[in-house]
Amino acid sequence: MSSILSIDKISKFYGPIKALDNVSFEVPQGSVFGILGPNGSGKTTLLGIVMDILKASSGTFLWNGQPGSEVIRQRIGTLLETPNFYHYLSGEKNLAIAAEIKQRGKEDIARVLEIVNLTQRKHSKFSTYSLGMKQRLAIASALLGNPDILVFDEPTNGLDPAGIAEIRTLIKELSGQGKTIIMASHILDEVEKVCTHVAIIQKGHMKAVGSVREILDSRGGQQITVLEVGSDDLATLDNIARLMPGITAVQSIEGYL
């Protein structure tokens, strides 16, 4: 399988803080690739670097074998932070504004509304949308211009259980349409349910990379990392301990590390 993204020995300092330490991995084309780690482990920094928003202190990355900028502009849709939608405007109008700002054609607004299943509610004000619908609109905005690569930072963060389920289903559908998806998450259950591949990162260090199945099947007892288990999946704590003896699952990372 060819790589859509190759990351080679990337490090990043913020002053004295080392946020990433010599991180290398490859993202296979067509994968749903999870970057999994507790809060503060360097996930957002890594996504910022490969999206050319931040500069690495050292190391290189290639998109499809080339230095990034043109590929990033033309082929990648992002959801790195919640977009600023206008509450008093409809979903459709908000997308029209987003298309203008991003210099994407307005002709595919109907197409992206259909993909995220908001066509029926396109004339409703954004303020009347559920949390899941708001996030689906944000993903619709990332889909403008029909990118074949999507980069999402914690796409289910802050959502209620219904919203989380909606977004996970949508990500699987987008993958089924052939898109490569790279997503950061601090929730093991999410990566297990949605991703085909995973890189586990802790305190800026890459701890394990591979297919989700390979990682879950590795029973070396190696102390890999500590993962926060989302409040929606507390029942899986025992399962995690059984499946992944090298991983310590806790309800909340607060005060643990």
> Is there binding between residue 37 and ligand ADP (CB under 6 A)?
yes
Choose the stretch contacting ligand ADP; rule: CB under 6 A; options: 35-43, 129-137, 141-149, 189-197: 35-43
- In whole angstroms, give the CA distance from residue 155 to residue 195: 13
Q: For residue 102, what is the DSSP state?
A: T
Choose the stretch contacting ligand ADP; rule: CB under 6 A; options: 33-41, 73-81, 103-111, 143-151: 33-41
> Is there binding between residue 82 and ligand ADP (CB under 6 A)?
no
Shortest Cβ 17–ligand ADP spacing (Å): 5
Shortest Cβ 249–ligand ADP spacing (Å): 17
Is the CB of 43 or the CB of 134 nearer to ligand ADP? 43
Choose the stretch contacting ligand ADP; rule: CB under 6 A; options: 43-51, 63-71, 94-102, 170-178: 43-51
- In whole angstroms, give the CA distance from residue 120 to residue 118: 5
Is the CB of 45 or the CB of 156 nearer to ligand ADP? 45
Burial of residue 226, with CB atoms counted within 10 A of its CB: 0-12 exposed, 13-18 middle, 19 or more buried: middle
> Is there binding between residue 45 and ligand ADP (CB under 6 A)?
yes
Q: Which of residues 5, 7, 10, 19 is near ligand ADP by CB under 6 A?
A: 19
The identity of residue 24, as a single letter, is S
Residue 83 three-state SS: coil
Is the CB of 14 or the CB of 256 nearer to ligand ADP? 14
Is the CB of 39 or the CB of 169 nearer to ligand ADP? 39
> Is there binding between residue 256 and ligand ADP (CB under 6 A)?
no
Q: Which of residues 8, 39, 86, 106 is near ligand ADP by CB under 6 A?
A: 39
- In whole angstroms, give the CA distance from residue 247 to residue 121: 42
Q: Which of residues 7, 10, 25, 44 is near ligand ADP by CB under 6 A?
A: 44
CA 217 to mean position of chain CA atoms = 23
**In angstroms, what CA-CA distances link 12 with 50, 57, 113, 130, 229?**
12, 5, 37, 37, 27
Strand partners, 247: 225
Instruction: Report which of 174, 149, 157, 167 is spatially closest to residue 82, judged by C-alpha positions.
Output: 157
131-143 helix and 91-101 helix, angle to the nearest 10 degrees: 30
Tokens of residue 178, six digits? 């052939």
Q: Which of residues 40, 59, 210, 245 is near ligand ADP by CB under 6 A?
A: 40
Shortest Cβ 40–ligand ADP spacing (Å): 4
> Is there binding between residue 17 and ligand ADP (CB under 6 A)?
yes
Tokens of residue 152, six digits? 């999402």
What is the contact surface with ligand ADP in residues (CB under 6 A)?
Answer: 14, 17, 19, 37, 39-45
